[in-house]
Amino acid sequence: MTKSKSKAIARFEGKGIIVNPYTLKDPFTKWNKLQIMLFNDKIEFNFGNKKIEANLEYIEDIGAELPRRAMEIAKASLEDISHYSSITIRLPDSDRTIIGFAPETSLYGKTLVNSFLKKLFYILLSKKEVKVQYGIIKGGSFDTSVSWEDGFLVFAQKPIKKGVSVVNEQVLAVAVTSGGKPKVYDLFNNIESVDRVSKTITMGEKEDEVEVLEIKQIKGGETMTSYIYLPQKERLFVLRYIATLTKYSNSVKKLLPKTEDELESQLASESWSGDRIKSEIEQLEPEEQEILTALYTGISSLELPPMMGLEVDEVEKILEKLIDKGLLDLVRIRKETELTEKGRAITNYIISNF
């Protein structure tokens, strides 16, 4: 069966930056011209000399806050960084990577970013299955007639007041079929608060205690409480949607991960599985493994040529390869190096298992 051709959905052009624990340590990391192409089944990031392509299933987050260093770098190449966003991906056998993007000019900057994000959220959330208890508490009183309903996320047309005019916009909502009649619940408007709580739900043929979102809204002058269950990734996307495309960002702020903290934690205590380390080691030449082991045991880079019986230039070429692979950090121009976190993890495995 012939695979159907990908359909283009949206495009963004501006500048972007690749952020992971290793690029943040690279003094040459900068914001470069970037074109993002969103398709119905994948997303492409084209930096000119570098292209990253990811199936939509590999998108882990949208709109994550960029680390401080990425923002500092932006000041050198962008007119204004007040309106930016990001897309986090994790390709198979790769590190988690954030692609930050922003318009090259502040003129219509927010509009350009949000227009692209709306299409991205639509592709990622539309028709995703959920379970919902809509309006189970109204004004402090439980409504015993409200039960868990199966539904799915939709983008429904809603009149939105903008200045003195009213325009129809697509907004995130929940659709259910109750008694054979379709209903649309306006769950993400007039939000008072959002929290995470545990609820017991019938999942298939058994009951499970799962984490759900508790959403309190102001309806008719009183507080109405609803609960919605959806998978973890889609739950994060919904929280990001509220944070980036609605005026209720403060209601979800405490529930969102802190990007800079995550990256620092990842760099300090990154866990490497045995299979992944073996895969890295298989790509190393014997001389590269020998150098890593020597540095791990405290031998200086300058002592390597006589120890290995090689010329200085030959050793420096090997060191350059190890730097490019992210296993060494350059300390001095004359190729004095030290092991990175990744390098230490791999070398420790070499010493322990070979």
CB atoms within 10 A of CB 103: 23
The answer to whether residue 345 sits within a structural domain is yes
The answer to whether residue 235 sits within a structural domain is no
What is the pLDDT at residue 41? 96
What is the pLDDT at residue 17? 94
Residue 201 sits in the same domain as residue 219: yes
What is the pLDDT at residue 149? 94
The answer to whether residue 181 sits within a structural domain is yes
Residue 98 sits in the same domain as residue 37: yes
CA atoms of 46 and 60, how far apart (whole Å): 19
Closest CA to 291 of 246, 253, 347: 347
The answer to whether residue 188 sits within a structural domain is yes
Domain with residue 41: its CATH number is: 2.30.29.30
| Domain end residue (candidates: 122, 150, 183) | 122
Residue 225 sits in the same domain as residue 303: no
Q: Dihedral through CA 214, CA 219, CA 221, CA 225, nearest 10?
A: -20
242: Cα separation from own chain's centroid: 16
CA atoms of 253 and 292, how far apart (whole Å): 43
Residue 87 sits in the same domain as residue 34: yes
Six-digit token pair at 325? 């692979």
Q: What are phi and psi of 121, to 5 degrees?
A: -60, -40
What domain range includes position 53? 8-122
| Tally of structural domains, the chain | 3
The answer to whether residue 247 sits within a structural domain is no
Residue 112 sits in the same domain as residue 156: no
Q: Dihedral through CA 75, CA 118, CA 49, CA 54, nearest 10?
A: 130
| Domain end residue (candidates: 230, 250, 279) | 230
What is the pLDDT at residue 332? 52
| Domain end residue (candidates: 95, 122, 149) | 122
Low-confidence ranges of the chain (pLDDT < 70): 1-3, 79-80, 107, 179, 259-276, 330-338, 341, 348-354
What is the pLDDT at residue 300? 79
CA atoms of 88 and 86, how far apart (whole Å): 7
Closest CA to 289 of 251, 327, 252: 327
What is the pLDDT at residue 190? 94
Coil, helix or strand at residue 245: helix
Contact 131, 149 (CB under 8 A): yes
Residue 155 sits in the same domain as residue 92: no
Residue 223 sits in the same domain as residue 320: no
Closest CA to 345 of 243, 251, 276: 276
CA atoms of 290 and 275, how far apart (whole Å): 21
Q: Which residue has the tokens 């500048």?
A: 15
What is the pLDDT at residue 266? 56
